Chains A and B, each alone.
Chain A
Amino acid sequence: MLAVDFSGLAEKIFPHHVVEKGWFVLNDSVISGFIVVAVLLIVALILRLTIIRHWKTTPTGGQMFLEWLVCFFDKSADEMTEEYSGLMGPYTLGAAAYICCGVLIEMFGLRPAIADLGACMALALCTFLFIHTLGFTKNKARRLLHYVNPINIVTDLAVPVSMTFRLFGSILSGMVIMDMIYILVEGIWYLGLPLILPAVLTPLFTLFHAFIQSYVFASLTLTFVQEAIEVPPRRQKKNKKTLQTAIAEKAA
């Protein structure tokens, strides 16, 4: 009754090479990544030419959504990375949009753009670059004191690795589970389940993951940058002493 053959699953886990000419290799994840970037650029252009050109003081549907989306990222960037929010707000919005659309492209039958180690590593390395350039521009040489404790070097190097594998693992697991369900419902077609089951489970494993992972990536980036641009505390003992003597003088 349940003669399900899972041997086809092994081929779907890692991306296939579509174009292979010497050193020039394209896999199917990269191609869906190109499609996602093209779609995002076209949508941005359309929004620029329609909604933003007719900007009103009393916003309607589309303008409300755009304002909410941009304000959400700008506000959280403002709260966490004070003077660099002009840089971090657009970066987190861009990264979140790419991750979200790169996962949602799975609904059109293509391989998700993020289910490739290269795409995740590119995003994680961008974050790594932002953390350290902003950290060094804010604190200059004082930041080197942070590396007196050699454990901190390992901690900093682990950040891009853990971000890469978090993103890759969660998107890959969602994709593998959906592929497993597709194979499973082929074996039980006679109950009419192939129509219902994937439609019920897709929001759970694809839609939900897309929003959660993009939000987590954006907020983790902001948290690490906030940690890096924190000004190390100065010697507080001296201040306390002067304060205490000042109070004592006042009392006297």
Chain B
Amino acid sequence: MELLITMVANLLATDGALLGAGIAALTGLGAGIGMGIATGKAVEATARQPEAVGKIRTMLLLGLAFAETTAIYGLLVSILLIFVA
């Protein structure tokens, strides 16, 4: 039992950071789904009303920037876990 605990502790101390970096990269999932939905809706809106394309593009870029932020946070966390921790 003690051996198991030391093994787990060693694993967490050495590879735990890398495991965490891998889990942090999962933020890409949510950001990808959100950006896909936003782009699809923008295409729909443009098809319905082609003359509003300028306004739709501005709003789409703003929304994509907000959605992308979560992915960037995940990337920063994983970079910090790999290279600093």
A interface with B by C-beta (< 8 Å): 9-10, 13, 162, 165-166, 168-170, 172-173, 176, 212, 215-216, 219-220, 223
A227 → chain B closest CB, angstroms:
12
- Cβ of B62 within 8 Å of any chain A Cβ, yes or no, is yes
- Per-position binary interface string of chain B over residues 52-74, scored 1 when its CB falls under 8 Å from any chain A CB and 0 otherwise: 00000010011001001100110
* Chain B: CB-nearest residue to A9: B83
- Contacts A172-B79, A223-B62 known; 4 new A-B pairs at CB < 8 A: A165-B72, A165-B73, A170-B68, A216-B62
In-complex Cβ contact of A166 among B62, B69, B79 (8 A): B69
B62, A219: Cβ atoms closer than 8 Å: yes
Q: How far is the CA of A165 from the CA of B72 in the complex (A)?
A: 8
B65, A172: Cβ atoms closer than 8 Å: no
Residues of A within 8 Å of B17, CB to CB, are: none
Residues of B within 8 Å of A219, CB to CB, are: 58, 61-62
Residues of B within 8 Å of A162, CB to CB, are: 69
Tally B residues with Cβ within 8 Å of A: 12
Interface of chain A, helix or strand or loop or mixed?
Answer: helix
A176, B79: Cβ atoms closer than 8 Å: yes
Residues of A within 8 Å of B65, CB to CB, are: 166, 216, 220
Residues of B within 8 Å of A212, CB to CB, are: 61
Residues of A within 8 Å of B24, CB to CB, are: none
B62, A170: Cβ atoms closer than 8 Å: no
Q: How far is the CA of A170 from the CA of B71 in the complex (A)?
A: 10
* Chain A: CB-nearest residue to B74: A169
A108 → chain B closest CB, angstroms:
24
* Chain A: CB-nearest residue to B64: A216
Task: Check A220/B62 contact, CB under 8 A, given A13-B79, A172-B79, A176-B79.
Answer: yes
Q: How far is the CA of A154 from the CA of B77 in the complex (A)?
A: 22
Q: How far is the CA of A198 from the CA of B73 in the complex (A)?
A: 26
Residues of A within 8 Å of B73, CB to CB, are: 165, 169
A216, B83: Cβ atoms closer than 8 Å: no
- Cβ of B75 within 8 Å of any chain A Cβ, yes or no, is yes
Q: How far is the CA of A170 from the CA of B58 in the complex (A)?
A: 19
Task: Check A169/B72 contact, CB under 8 A, given A216-B61, A216-B65, A219-B58.
Answer: yes
Residues of B within 8 Å of A170, CB to CB, are: 68, 72
A16 → chain B closest CB, angstroms:
14
- Cβ of B76 within 8 Å of any chain A Cβ, yes or no, is yes
Q: How far is the CA of A166 from the CA of B76 in the complex (A)?
A: 10
Residues of B within 8 Å of A223, CB to CB, are: 62
**Which B5-63 residues sit within 8 Å CB-CB of chain A?**
58, 61-62
Residues of B within 8 Å of A216, CB to CB, are: 61-62, 65
Q: How far is the CA of A164 from the CA of B69 in the complex (A)?
A: 11
A171 → chain B closest CB, angstroms:
10
